[in-house]
Amino acid sequence: MLGNFTYCNPTKLYFGEDALKGLNEELPKYGKNVQLVYGGGSIKKNGIYDEVTAILKANGKNIIEDGGVMPNPTVEKLYEGVKIARDNKTDLILAVGGGSCCDYAKAVAVSVNCGEDPWEKYYIRFEEPSCEVLPVACVLTMAGTGSEMNGGSVITNHEKKLKIGHVFGENVMPKFSILNPRFTLSLPKRQMVSGIYDIFNHICEQYFSGDDDNTSDYISEGLMRSLIHSSRKANANPGDYEARSNIMWTATWALNTLVAKGKTTDWMVHMLGQAVGAYTDATHGMTLAAVSLPYYRHIMPYGLAKFKRFAIEVWGVDAAGKTDEQTALEGLAAMESWMKELGLAMNISELGATPDMVEGLADSTLVLKGGYKVLERDEIVEIFKESL
């Protein structure tokens, strides 16, 4: 049942090899002061920094440097970014990077004019902005998080061992995003496959919820099939522009609210993975990969019909002469083969987690209620043990 919902994604997307030209159409709509958000500096090596700053200068903008955004942006970095924006009267925050940069840009955007502590307000109390929100835009260099067309923003608090995401409304979504698949080609292969699994899991988290089929499930199956197809091509040849462009486009649609319509959504793989991330600082997609199969095998009995459908429609499993459970398990086995083919992390030990961390990981795991089974603490411990 689709039920009652609203849908609004006003982000304008410029896609393709010429996408950066979109900056010339968009920049005149904003004030002079552009806060340029980026990560560790790879964009300075691969030329993207020079391309973007040249266009900013040609459009008469003041460039306010805000580099050094880490893969899991911290609350300390957020406070720093807010100060930069206040000191420089930022008119537009332009994130050039992957999901971390874009998530961080949104966190700064809702915090600059906020009189309270943004960590407490947005990531602990989950309140909505009551102040003016700065406009955010994005030049995407890594496909995965979908942050380029949603209101999501994940911030990590190392002191409290918390990594928390807030999904803001359409007023916080990027005003525009530049999606040039060529910008993703220079990523190390490990980051590419990590992003691919992040995309796949975003779809799973929405698909594996609810007990009735609706249009969202069918769209999700299409997106998963497209992603599996293109990921195999990209894995064989990371320079395959067509495959990389389909992956980039799938990433956007995997997490811009469309396929969540009518779904309760699960998100427990993210909760488990984020706990691992908080303990190990491992790459997001890899933490998801490492806990997924133990989690799905655990909840499969509670959503058997959907896992059977997943096996047949996404993995092409032939159900003839098999029990529902056999079919469902064959689907997860096909998924496991594909994950190994891509070289994903298949357990949390290889990400640095150790048996003595299990209790702490369970403590750090937020329990959500949208999936087929609301996990008890002992189930979480068991899943982490199986993930080791």
Query: Applying CB under 8 A, which residues contact a copy of itself?
Result: 1-19, 22, 170, 181, 212-215, 217-223, 225-226, 229-230, 242, 245-246, 249-250, 253, 258, 261
Q: Which two tokens stand for residue 201?
A: 């899991």
- We find the least distance from the C-beta atom of residue 7 to a copy of itself, in angstroms, to be 4
Distance CA 273, CA 197 (A): 12
> Smallest distance from the beta carbon of 24 to a copy of itself, in angstroms?
13
How near is the Cβ of 113 to a copy of itself at its closest, in Å?
A: 22
Q: Which is nearer to a copy of itself, 200 or 384 (CB)?
A: 200
Closer to a copy of itself by CB, 79 or 241: give it: 241
- Residue with Cβ nearer a copy of itself (317 or 348): 317
Residue 43 burial (C-beta neighbours within 10 Å; 0-12, 13-18, 19+): buried
Contacts 24+ apart (CB under 8 A), 288-291: 288/197, 288/198, 288/201, 289/194, 289/197, 289/201, 289/339, 289/344, 289/345, 289/346, 290/344, 290/345, 290/346, 290/347, 290/348, 290/350, 290/351, 290/387, 291/348, 291/383, 291/384, 291/387
Query: Least distance (Å) from a copy of itself to the CB of residue 4?
Result: 3
> β-strand 152-157 against 162-167: which pairing, if any?
antiparallel
**Host H or E run for residue 140:** strand 136-140
Nearer to a copy of itself, 2 or 236 (CB): 2
Residue closer to a copy of itself, measured from CB, 22 or 294: 22
- Tell me how far, at minimum, the Cβ of 354 lies from a copy of itself, in Å: 40
Token pair of 48, please?
């993207």
* Nearest to a copy of itself of 175, 385 (CB atom): 175
Smallest separation, CB 314 to a copy of itself (Å) = 11
